[in-house]
Amino acid sequence: MSQDHQRRLKNFFINRSLQLRLVFISLGYMAIMLGITLSFTLLPILRSMFETSDPHTQYQSAQTFLLLAQRLVPAMLVLFFLFFSHLVIMTHRVCGPLVNFTHTFECMAAGDFSRRISLRQKDYLQDEAEMINEVLDNLQDHITSLQEENQRLMKSLEKAEADPTPAILAVAREQSQRINDLVTAFQL
Amino acid sequence: MPFNRGRAPHERETMNVRKKSRRPPYTKPARKRERKPVLTTAQLCVVAIVTVLVFVGGSIFLKITSGSAYDISTHHDLQLFADFQKFHHAMNGTCLGEQGQVIRNDGIPSTLDLKKYTLSKGVAIFIVAGAPEDPYNESNPFTMQAKHKKSDTVYEYSFATDTIIER
């Protein structure tokens, strides 16, 4: 593995725009969920801590609140970090194939159907990549057949030009029909 | 049927096979891909402000509520310790500890050693004045102060007034 392809954090952000958006949005939702959880957990305790006149109840609530705060806050931070790491890895495994797809589509747009999508072992979208490769194989087969038929037709026409016998022209027409069949296979 | 049949000779001349190289397949002109910024400045500002607000707000909320919880614990411990001293005085005619002694549960060893009496975590109770044999002496009442190590609030109990005040 070359120096450039070592896994550093910046390498995990292949499509930074998309990945950071997904990461921020997901972290925002997680923050909301954690906020709701904390509210439902801590608010009743805080209520009994401040609104009760019984000192023993207040003391018990205060101790419970301190215990929960001491355990929940670090747990929350660890959860955030783990979720962030998970999001970076997950989006990396989606955006990596998408970059590969984009390069292949760019080649297709330029008329080059020879490029295939090859993904890493743990990347997502394996089925989709396989499907696109299959489509490219079919397209390449069609175009190769068209080119071959066209070559044959060219030769037949050259022969017909030199010696325009009905037999040669019949062959040329047949080849032209095959080209037509191949072309009409595409629905435009 | 030969395609030149019935055509004039000069027309036949024009039916030559095109020998020019094949026209290259049509390709759309390469579109210049626009590079969008990772996050726009406005989005970045919103994210930064929300993050800072959440962290600062959370920290302030935790600090205030934890401070109240520490104070409630300290107040409660001092009240319990005062009740314990009153009971001990009623039973034995003397209180436990002398001026300058401290019972604590904040990691530092206590100078007043009560083996079966434990304070809440972080709380320390100091005996600041008075004689244990005469705790109700009006000129020098038996007085104790309690403080939590994570709070600045000091509570004081005096046998003379039998109340806890905040210092």
Nearest to A63 among B4, B37, B120 (CB): B120
| Cβ burial, residue B144 (10 Å; 0-12/13-18/19+) | buried
- Point out which residues pair with B125 in neighbouring strands: B103, B146
CB of A97 within 8 A of CB of A117? yes
Taking the CA of residue B20 and the nearest CA in chain A, the distance in Å comes to: 11
User: In this complex, is the C-beta atom of A131 within 8 Å of any C-beta atom belonging to chain B?
Assistant: no
Mean pLDDT over each residue of chain A, to the nearest integer: 87
Question: B12 CA to chain A: closest CA distance, Å?
Answer: 10
Please say if the pLDDT value at position A161 is more than 90.
no
Residue B134 burial by Cβ neighbours in a 10 Å radius (0-12, 13-18, 19+): middle
Say what the pLDDT of residue B15 is: 47
Q: Which of A79, A97, A75, A78 is nearest to A14 (CA)?
A: A97
Residues 6+ apart with CB under 8 A from A126: A119
Domain count, chain B: 1
Do residues B167 and B145 touch, judged by C-beta distance below 8 A? Answer: yes
- Nearest-Cα distance to chain A for B139, in Å, is 30
Nearest chain A Cα to B51, which residue?
A28
Q: Which two tokens stand for residue A6?
A: 């070592």
The residue range of the domain holding B70 is 41-166
Residue B1 forms part of a structural domain:
no
Q: Do A45 and A62 form a contact (C-beta atoms < 8 A)? A: no
Taking only the tens place, the pLDDT of each residue in B77-124 is 999 999 999 999 999 999 999 999 999 999 999 999 888 889 999 999
Closest-CA distance, A125 to chain B, in angstroms, reads: 23
| pTM of the entire predicted model | 0.67
Closest-CA residue of A relative to B62 is A69
User: Which pLDDT score is estimated for A9?
Assistant: 57
Specify if B30 maps to a domain. no
Which residues contact residue A52 at a Cβ distance below 8 angstroms, ignoring those fewer than 6 apart? Answer: A58, A61
Question: Is the residue at B35 inside a domain?
Answer: no
For residue B88, being part of any structural domain is answered with: yes
Contacting residues of B for A157, CB less than 8 Å apart: 17
Residue B92 lies in a domain: yes
Q: What is the mean pLDDT of residues A160-167?
A: 87
Interface test with B, best of A32, A60, A66, A147 (most B CBs within 10 A): A66
Q: Spell out a b/e string for A39-59, using b for 16 or more CB atoms within 10 Å of the CB, else e.
A: eeebeebbebbeeeeeeeebb
Q: How many CB pairs below 8 Å do chains A and B form together? A: 75
Q: Which of residues 95-114 of A touch B (CB under 8 A)?
A: 106, 109-111
- pLDDT for residue A67 is more than 70: yes
Residues of A in contact with B16 (CB under 8 A): 161
Name the phi and psi angles at A8, rounded to 5: -110, 170
User: Averaged over A31-48, what is the pLDDT?
Assistant: 90
Helix, coil or strand: residue B6:
coil
Q: Which residues in chain B show pLDDT less than 70?
A: 1-39
